[in-house]
Structure 1
Amino acid sequence: MSIKSFSAKIFAAIIRRKIDSWAAKPEETQQKVFRDLIRKARNTQFGKDHSFDTISNPKEFAGRVPVRDYEELKPYVDRVVAGEENILWPGKPLYFAKTSGTTSGAKYIPLTKESMPTHIEAARNAILCYISDSGKAEFVDGKMIFLQGSPELDEKNGIKLGRLSGIVAHFVPGYLQRNRMPSWETNCIEDWETKVEAVVNETVKEDMTVISGIPSWVQMYFERLIAKTGKKVGEIFPNFELFIYGGVNFEPYRAKFESLIGRRVDSIELFPASEGFFAFQDKQGVKGMLLQLDSGIFYEFIRAEEFYSEEPQRLTIGEVELDTNYVMIISSSAGLWAYNLGDTVQFTSLKPYRVIVSGRIKHFISAFGEHVIAKEVEQAMQEATAGTDVQISEFTVAPQITPVGEQLPYHEWFIEFEQEPREIDSFADALDRSLQEQNSYYKDLIEGKILQRLKITKIPSNGFQKYMKSIGKLGGQNKLPRLSNDRKIAEVLEKL
């Protein structure tokens, strides 16, 4: 064992004890975070506008600070972007994480001197918890690759801005710099397909032990490696043992990955976003990611079915329940207050608090009142492919409200198969059965002859990559929505 891996084990044990300490006191930890946030921001413009100096508990906070999404918080953010100080958080932010918006174009998410370190520490701690849990540390001596956006930054009114993954690249610890790949020059390539080719050329002869990125884009990297060498990824990188991912559920990709690699490797799931690093998988073989209660983020939760009601109840960490779909609301040291992230989560454990991302509050199908969410279609796909040789590259689901002729409406599954099922109708039946078992509303609609069984539309090879490229979102941190309540994506896919 090298000095580096031995030291990593010692450091991992120290960090694990610290995490266990705050995780054992969840409500106390969140109360401390809440008080610190209110105290530090009371003299900001937002704090004055919402009487922070009179707020002493979360209930008072909920009464004075309404839930807002980016569009609703934008008047404050615009003043920060314009260069004003002390608007949402004391002083000015260190960076803006620039993301694609909806109705307002680009979104500028502040990253402050208090919030920026929490992104770095959470990513580091995820790896350290893996070392502590598994006892494995030799991988720290090999090469690590992080498929991410360009680290080149622009500037707006004296503040650097770029993609979050590109900003984070500037904070990679010195002890990882020698191991980290690809090179800075390759990371700066904007065109994703060109970048992947460059990454392949740089890494194909290296001792890669850790690979990280969104599964669909890592899959493209693996396929290019195999095309270049004619070997499985596990043969090219015999010491590759850890895959780190976030942004999407890995399970629909797992069979395909194992085929490309030639064996199973350990994995760590992360829950990062420009707005904060919220959770990471702290134990192997345990469902859910440990919610980061001690990272300058105060959490509130609203039951998804209540979210669009007039006065939805805002719950704190001590009031949540298992297996309930919640919209996650955050207030943070980045200056985001009662901010609707758009993600929905479910708790898999309350001791400690672990979550899975169940979908997006705006990404669902409820054209007929069924309210099908991403978690349900992903689980249906996982169950339908289990024990078979079927392999899926990508899929998305949309409602077909006005089918041709006298047909009943249905859910249309657009699937790009790597290995097709022997009987497509039987596969569709398996998907539909699973969805009915999970969602009673959907089952009632099927049994009541309001909907017919789902239908599958096969997408040509690389079809989803072509779609993402056509909308300018190929690669990086961009993700295909798992499902939609309209046919905007479906209409493009139908033409492939």
Structure 2
Amino acid sequence: MTSTDGWGSPGHEQRYRERVFAERARLHGAAADFAGHQQRVLADLLEFNADTAFGRAHGFGRIRTMEEFRRAVPVQDYADHAPWIDRTTAGEANVLTADRPTVYFTSSGSTGAHKKIPVTPRFMSSTFFPFYYAAWAPLIEHFPDVLARPDAVLNLKHDPLAAPPTAADGRPHVGASQVDFGEKFGEPLSAEPGTAAPWAALPVPVAADAHLEKMYLRLRLAVQSDVRCLIGINPAMVAAVPYQLNLWWPRIVKEVHDGTLGGVPYGAPAPQRAAELERLADHFGIVRPAQIWPHMRALFCWTTGAASLYLPRLREEFGPGVTVLPAPVAASEGPVGVALDRHPCAGSLVATASVYEFVDADQDLTPDVATLLPDELEPGRDYHVLFSHVGGLYRYAVGDVVRVVDRVDGVPRVEYAGRGTRSDAAGERLREAQVIRALRAALSATGLELRNATCQVATPPTGQPHYRFALAPHTPWNGQETTRFARLLDTHLGEQSPGYRRAREAGRLGDPTLHLLPRDAFQRDWHDAVGAGVRPTQVKDRIFRQDPALWQRLTQLPATHEGEHR
């Protein structure tokens, strides 16, 4: 995202700081009247969109209260909204919103299908920008040096496109990180840190879908800068950096030495820097980001879900004093929570952005399911999250489960717990969040560590179905450790999920099995998926991988120790 009032222009940094801190202060202030703000958000979306096709079909003009809204509009997911969105992309006006979409955000979702999320000016001004600016406040308050130079931040998700793909109505259909918010929405301050670095707009020709080559080129340029902060949002992107540095190291060093970028002359040859980089590899045997960028201060990405299994060790790759700050709990469809302080994982609900509803995570999301409002949530519990906002999503089940951590000034603070999908081979109704917590508990009890994990239901021709886990240990596990871990994992899965415990006790599920992978197996898998054409931001950690092809691709690598264990 770039603009004429971008990084490096006179006074930009000061104006940016003022805007970020002002938006955070407004969100802090909104906590004093959270319920009142929720009612005003509801009234605004009803009034603004009353004369749309959706608004007329659901009687928006007659609705005054939250209870009336619940009765008039069923709980819906993307598939329910899709017919209305299709009418919008075909060029029809006043379908979901009174605003014409400016762009459509893309999102892979849980199925991998590319959604088209209408993004309107009113949505951006009232729902998106307040949380978006406030999200950067902890970073720039506590690590001000990350704004000192354009090349102090390596923003991995920034991926501008000269010729973006479009929907049927001709409007761009892109990721949020591919939109110039200054140009499209009149917000010149919205360019993120790192979007004016030398690698932000690559100076050599590269195909739009050559995602691995673009990542290489950015790393090649960044090794010659004093990077202080890395922005990834998706933690799998952050985890890929150490792997890719070592994978591409000989090519990087040669290009630094020769003064080339992707084989094209670029800048002056730098044999002295190349020699320094070569010495790092010779001395340490493996190249770590901490050695290349010794002044690294902060990482900015999601810190929960599957990432909680590997982030502590990953952080060390970037330096012993590096802080990991949590990216917002949000999706392409809208925000849920944003960290307004240095809490390591949770963010406060954004009172002014959307009307929020919740459903206990163990319940099914049916159109008429009873929902809870924010003041009814209990800390320590998991919930499906629904939101409604002026951008045209109504009682929208985003597909994520959040866990309530605590309350700040009466406002629930939530962390991302996992996708809302369940695995249910024998009535166990097992959720991602339950598997992640069981894995963490078994790791804690054994002192073992993982670089990542996934699982699927194995259904042999004879015998019971059972869960098999593919695990990439941080260091090799011996047979005794693996056997004990498998036993503890089974126990903790039963503690987390009553359905799993009942299925095991009734003999409907067999013992879980473990398949140990090389330590970099998940990084290789991620790298291969990006190489196959998937945008890096959309290749995310997945606990459940039932697709046989995905499982085979991951587990075809040699096992770390003795293959399968019970």
For Structure 1 versus Structure 2, the TM-score category normalised by the shorter chain is: 0.7 to 0.9
Give per-residue Cα distances to partners, 1:264-317, cap 9 Å, x unaligned: 42122222321012222223246522121212x111222233324573102222
1:243: which partner in 2?
299
Following TM superposition, by how much is the alpha carbon of 1:189 offset from its aligned partner in structure 2, in angstroms?
Answer: 4.3
Q: 1:376 to 1:471 in 2, by over 3 A?
A: farther
Please give the TM-score of this superposition, normalised by the length of structure 1.
0.87
**Native 8 Å contact 1:149 1:477 kept in 2:** no
- Partners of 1:397 and 1:26 lie apart in 2 by 40
- The number of aligned residues is 488
1:129 to 129, 138, 151: 138
Alignment of 1:370-381 (within 5 A): 370-381=428-439
Counterpart amino acid of residue 25 in structure 1: D
> Which secondary structure does the structure 2 equivalent of 1:337 belong to?
strand
Comparing 155-164 and 199-208, the one that deviates more: 155-164
Counterpart amino acid of residue 492 in structure 2: S
Q: 1:300 to 1:137 in 2, by over 3 A?
A: same
1:219: which partner in 2?
239
Following TM superposition, by how much is the alpha carbon of 1:66 offset from its aligned partner in structure 2, in angstroms?
Answer: 1.3
2:289: which partner in 1?
233
2:472: which partner in 1?
416
- Partners of 1:413 and 1:247 lie apart in 2 by 22
Following TM superposition, by how much is the alpha carbon of 1:37 offset from its aligned partner in structure 2, in angstroms?
Answer: 0.7
> Which secondary structure does the structure 2 equivalent of 1:315 belong to?
coil
> Which secondary structure does the structure 1 equivalent of 2:351 belong to?
coil
Please give the TM-score of this superposition, normalised by the length of structure 2.
0.77
Q: 1:326 to 1:95 in 2, by over 3 A?
A: same
Q: Does 1:67 align with 2:87?
A: no
Following TM superposition, by how much is the alpha carbon of 1:178 offset from its aligned partner in structure 2, in angstroms?
Answer: 7.0
**Native 8 Å contact 1:299 1:329 kept in 2:** yes
1:165 to 177, 197, 200: 177
- Partners of 1:477 and 1:240 lie apart in 2 by 25
2:63 to 40, 52, 55: 55
Q: Does 1:473 align with 2:534?
A: yes
Q: Does 1:184 align with 2:201?
A: yes
Q: Does 1:35 align with 2:17?
A: no
Following TM superposition, by how much is the alpha carbon of 1:81 offset from its aligned partner in structure 2, in angstroms?
Answer: 0.2
- Partners of 1:6 and 1:482 lie apart in 2 by 42
Counterpart amino acid of residue 184 in structure 1: A
Comparing 382-391 and 438-447, the one that deviates more: 382-391
- Partners of 1:102 and 1:385 lie apart in 2 by 27
**Native 8 Å contact 2:211 2:531 kept in 1:** no
Comparing 49-58 and 235-244, the one that deviates more: 235-244
2:107: which partner in 1?
99
> Which secondary structure does the structure 1 equivalent of 2:243 belong to?
helix
- Partners of 2:347 and 2:515 lie apart in 1 by 33
Give per-residue Cα distances to partners, 1:389-415, cap 9 Å, x unaligned: 754333211122x33654x43211112
**Native 8 Å contact 1:5 1:138 kept in 2:** no
> Which secondary structure does the structure 2 equivalent of 1:108 belong to?
strand
> Which secondary structure does the structure 2 equivalent of 1:306 belong to?
coil
1:83 to 81, 88, 91: 91
**Native 8 Å contact 2:240 2:527 kept in 1:** no
- Partners of 2:385 and 2:447 lie apart in 1 by 37
> Which secondary structure does the structure 2 equivalent of 1:399 belong to?
strand
2:373: which partner in 1?
316
> Which secondary structure does the structure 1 equivalent of 2:290 belong to?
helix
Q: 1:354 to 1:209 in 2, by over 3 A?
A: same
- Partners of 1:235 and 1:8 lie apart in 2 by 31
Q: Does 1:272 align with 2:291?
A: no
Q: 1:326 to 1:470 in 2, by over 3 A?
A: same
Query: Of the two, which has the highest radius of gyration?
Result: 2
Following TM superposition, by how much is the alpha carbon of 1:146 offset from its aligned partner in structure 2, in angstroms?
Answer: 1.9
- Partners of 1:44 and 1:101 lie apart in 2 by 26
> Which secondary structure does the structure 1 equivalent of 2:236 belong to?
helix
- Partners of 1:103 and 1:453 lie apart in 2 by 28
- Partners of 1:97 and 1:309 lie apart in 2 by 26
- Partners of 2:176 and 2:457 lie apart in 1 by 33
- Partners of 1:13 and 1:124 lie apart in 2 by 8
Give per-residue Cα distances to partners, 1:445-488, cap 9 Å, x unaligned: 33444433321113354452366358753623321421256766
**Native 8 Å contact 2:154 2:194 kept in 1:** no
- Partners of 1:485 and 1:174 lie apart in 2 by 39
**Native 8 Å contact 1:88 1:336 kept in 2:** yes
Following TM superposition, by how much is the alpha carbon of 1:53 offset from its aligned partner in structure 2, in angstroms?
Answer: 0.7
Q: Does 1:139 align with 2:146?
A: yes
Following TM superposition, by how much is the alpha carbon of 1:175 offset from its aligned partner in structure 2, in angstroms?
Answer: 8.7
Q: 1:194 to 1:397 in 2, by over 3 A?
A: same
Quote the RMSD (CA, aligned, Å): 3.2
- Partners of 1:208 and 1:201 lie apart in 2 by 13
Counterpart amino acid of residue 371 in structure 2: R
Q: 1:100 to 1:223 in 2, by over 3 A?
A: closer
Counterpart amino acid of residue 167 in structure 1: V
Counterpart amino acid of residue 437 in structure 1: E
- Partners of 1:91 and 1:489 lie apart in 2 by 40
Q: 1:225 to 1:472 in 2, by over 3 A?
A: closer
Q: 1:123 to 1:384 in 2, by over 3 A?
A: farther
- Partners of 1:378 and 1:173 lie apart in 2 by 35
Counterpart amino acid of residue 107 in structure 1: K
Give per-residue Cα distances to partners, 1:47-100, cap 9 Å, x unaligned: 111111100011111111112222222221111101111111113111111334
Following TM superposition, by how much is the alpha carbon of 1:432 offset from its aligned partner in structure 2, in angstroms?
Answer: 2.7
Counterpart amino acid of residue 165 in structure 1: S
**Native 8 Å contact 2:336 2:350 kept in 1:** yes
